[in-house]
Structure 1
Amino acid sequence: MVREETSAKGKRGHDPVRGAGTTRFREKREAILAAAAQAINEQGAKGMTFADVARRVGLNTTSVTYYFKRKEDLAAACFEHTLGELQVMLDEALTRPTPRERVAHYIALNMERLTRIEAGDTQPFAILSDLRATEGAVRSRLMAGWQRVFRTTRLLWGQAKTRTLTDLHGARAHVLLENTFWLPIWVARYDLDQYPRVGDRLMDVLASGIARPSDAWAPEPIELTHDAVPAREAFLLAATRLINELGYHGASVQRIASELNVTKGSFYHHLDAKDDLVIACYGRSFEAIAEAQRVADARGGSQWQRLSDVIATLLDVQFGERGPLLRSTALSGLEPAMRDAMVARSNRIARRYAGTISDGIAEGSMRAVDPLVASQALMALQNAAFDMRKWAGTMPRERAIAMYASTLLFGMFDDRAAE
């Protein structure tokens, strides 16, 4: 716990700029950033307050403004810290000689970090859900930092010599990053001494995929009917797209209403509050996934065929215009009880994937992998695909779906997807 300061300048009239290099200054600034990251992860960047951050570190509110003049500055510093730590891990991973070793080392570094967090030895990163809700020069700076992280991740596979390989490495980088962002949501269900094993099992899926080497990608897409109420579907579709693009707090009620060219009163005709909107959007998305899984099971066929059909269908939804699935980034804006309920619903879908994979292993149509770990990796893949719709728009849709799906179904070091 950091001792409370008596004034914004401290006991000696200390100037924050001149004192920025002192150990005491750095320690308190880091303590504030850690507390703010916790607040952002629980309440979102806009829900975070100076008063709450000050309470967490034992300072008064005025003392926090000694380090950060505005709440937006504090949130931006938290996001920059996350991006900086990601960059450090990626730079270390790049020192390994081969793509497989680089990815394995990056996964190991993430598992070590999560182990330290669970043990109470360090603080979690601020999740980047609200990064896109920032504005102006701050947004430009943060998005430039994110681009550096993405490009460095792509370099784990080396310099691409063709446009096709650049596309493939980009898909792999995106799925890898999303899996490390999704890890904290589900890994806490394991005992701490199991974390290294979870990391190994995740790396096994990333390295060699879920399919057998001899399996072919030949999905039969499913026609979904979850958008049976056109007016409500249009409303939820617009909200889902904006929340995915701008985050929970960036997608205001006014902005959603403007997207549909209706009044805010029309919003409240559909739903009582914004949290109700997010829950309805999640409900729509979860039902689309569940419907695809049910239809695939009803069709019969091998478990590999069923899984291929579901993944291809959901990626088509994410890449297309008919309506994306709501991203997990919206979770940070919900009240804890609602957030837990949405994660529980997500876990039920993941367990159904795990069942399909288990049955596929038993019948010999899939490779022997850890079904629980592989299912969570698939949840991350389908969740992240929305952000790659511009990437997907640069090639035929079927090719984009096959290339993106290959990252987990055939592994991140199988270049057949580039042929």
Structure 2
Amino acid sequence: MTDAGAPTQVGIGEEETGTKRFRAKRDAILAAAAEAINEQSAKGMTFADVARRVGLNTTSVTYYFKRKEDLAAAAFEHTLDLLLAMLDDAAAEASPQARVRRFLALNMARLARVQRGEERAMAVLSDLRASEEPNRTRLLNRWREVFRRTRALWGPAASRAHTDLFGARAHVLLENIFWLPAWLDRYEPDQFDRVEARLMDVFAGGIAQPDARWSPAPIDLAHAETEPGRAAFLLAATRLINELGYRGASVQRIAAELNVTKGSFYHHLDAKDDLVIACYRRSFDTISDAQRLADAAGGSHWQRLSSTIATLLDVQFAERAPLLRTTALSGLPADVRSAMVDRSNRIARRFAGTMMDGIAEGSMRAVDALIAAQALMALQNAAFDMRKWAAAMPRDRAIGVYASTILFGMFDDRAID
């Protein structure tokens, strides 16, 4: 009996039809795998779940992909191919601003098609670093090519300082593209064009007034740990999850990082999900503390916002106690994931409130504060990945250059003047 999911032997006249059928089935499997990865992470995805999503049996899926790791790698590669194709399209525009505008427009159009059910969402790249060899090296090389082509949207760099600045812009732009699905569903589809225009306005002009000065005041976030042993677990777990994703950072790896037994882990926490939830709460509390202390210090709302962002970027670049990235969300149960997103949204709304007050007092541009707040969430969330970039220059300069991408816009060179 022939497997319903596998192509049968065909004659020469039917070869083209058979090839199209094979590709269509393979594409459907990849789309289902992307959906599963986005919900459960690459490590949590199963052949059985992917098969169910496309109406096949598990054996049919294994005809196309022998190993689950190969299926996940193919889904990641598909995402990278889509990004490279959009970057090629955007690169044909005449100016940096037109290229960034085109890249954003292509992604917004893609998300609109996903919302209408005309296209499946692409796989998020959270678990890419946790892939097994030889897939890992190949995928990371492709990711570096995505980053290089994104950086090239700003054209040739005239100096090392411009290379650093363009790298920061590329990273923040990509992170905002990846963060879009987390908040875009709060808008009606007929508002997507407006969202695109308002987000591009933030990319182009930033949040600050053109004559604003960058002079953030440091905020002291130090506080005594009531449970030092538990805090050490949270910090080790945060670093590993940021690097390897939720599933890639196993309890055993976290315990090994601290040179303790798995039993010690369960002395402090009941389960791995409890660990991730605790890491998120610590991270969100850190952001909320920075916002609250900036408000308590007073000054203009521009001063409060810039001081908060500078403090959080310092936390990320220092790596001693980083904030947990959103990469862990896809591994969490749906109800817990929803609760974490809700907390993130409350923090974003506080950023938005600060901006609204800043617009009223004249210290910030008249941007859409709700959309700009999401751009700030993406910026501070992604900074952990740029710690090696930041280590190559004085910390204050790294913070200023990275923050400038949203606070002053992606086409303003005052950060290196």
Task: Give TM class, smaller chain.
Answer: over 0.9
Alignment partners' CA distance in 1, 2:151 and 2:103: 12
* Match of residue 188, structure 2, among 187, 191, 197: 191
1:380 maps to 378
- Aligned identity (percent) is 70
TM-score, normalising length: structure 1: 0.96
Q: Which amino acid aligns with 2:242?
A: N
Tell me the CA shift for residue 135 of structure 1.
2.0
Shifted more, 395-404 versus 228-237: the winner is 228-237
Which SS does the other structure have where 1:22 is aligned?
helix
User: Given that residues 319 and 387 in structure 2 are in contact (C-alpha distance below 8 angstroms), is that contact kept between their aligned partners in structure 1?
Assistant: no
1:408-419 residue pairs with structure 2 within 5 A?
Answer: 408-419=406-417
1:50 aligns with 2:44: no
- Distance change >3 Å, CA 343–CA 20, structure 1 → 2: farther
- Of the three residues 382, 402, 405, the one matched with 2:403 is 405
CA shift for structure 1 position 44: 0.8
The structural deviation recorded for 1:322 is 2.4
Closer, same or farther in 2 for the Cα pair 1:5/1:212, shift >3 Å?
farther
RMSD after superposition: 1.6
Whichever residue aligns with residue 56 of structure 1, its letter is R
Alignment of 1:15-414 (within 5 A): 22-226=19-223, 228-229=225-226, 230-414=228-412
1:200–1:8: structure 2 CA closer, same or farther, 3 Å change rule? closer
**CA distance in structure 2 between the partners assigned to 1:345 and 1:8 by the alignment:** 43
Unaligned 5+ runs, structure 2: none
Q: TM-score, normalised by structure 2?
A: 0.97
Q: Is the 8 A contact 2:7 2:22 kept in 1?
A: no
Give deviations 1:296-318, integer Å, cap 9, x for gaps. Answer: 11111100000011000000000
- 1:193-214 deviation digits (Å, cap 9, x = unpaired): 0011001100000110000010
Q: Which amino acid aligns with 2:179?
A: W
Q: Which amino acid aligns with 1:151?
A: R
Contact between 1:44 and 1:130, CA under 8 Å: does it hold in 2?
yes
**Which letter maps to 1:218?**
S
Aligned equivalents of 1:273, 1:5: Cα separation in 2: 44
Check whether the contact 1:5–1:63 (CA below 8 A) recurs between aligned residues.
Answer: no
Q: Distance in 1 between matches of 2:230 and 2:49?
A: 37
The C-alpha deviation readout for 1:368-397, integer Å capped at 9, x for no partner, is 000000000000000000000000000000
Shift of 1:233: 1.8
Higher deviation after alignment, 131-140 or 352-361: 131-140
Q: Displacement of 1:47 after TM fit?
A: 1.1
Change (3 A) 1:321 1:73: closer
- 2-structure distance, mates of 1:405, 1:8: 50
Contact kept, 8 Å, 2:129 with 2:244, in 1: the verdict is yes
Question: How many equivalent residue pairs?
Answer: 413
| Bigger mean CA offset, 20-29 vs 299-308 | 20-29
